Structure 1
């Protein structure tokens, strides 16, 4: 198995309930979260992701390539509503505003 360690966790607003069930975008493809979402890191399975290298960006909410993860997607996986997901996003997270 090939894994990626991502520098984001529940301190950044990622629900711990996504442990072993959530998804993240890496290399334009969905990768499953494995293990427990920690305070400042999350591990995901990138087995089969051929063009992924250390330092490549990962997307927890938004789009990358042809794939997209919405607030509703995360809320469904976490067993909550999208408003709770959006309100939990901390100030240190990169935001891109689109008009």
Structure 2
């Protein structure tokens, strides 16, 4: 059984996220460009994983960014990632969220 190709929407979103974090345009980010070779670092990788969760609603670990640092590689991970659980809502005036 072969894996399905990553959804074009996920790849496009990842290109946009790479560009946002690295202060590039999406046109400057290709499918095989490495996040770290484009200027990414560990702090930006943490932000990338968080933004992927928010925008694409999937669980993507920071380790995935290190293991598959290209748009194409991460799009494959996104296609296989479980859905992100909704974050608990915080109540106004209650820092603990209870």
Output the TM-score relative to the length of structure 1. 0.31
Higher strand share: 1
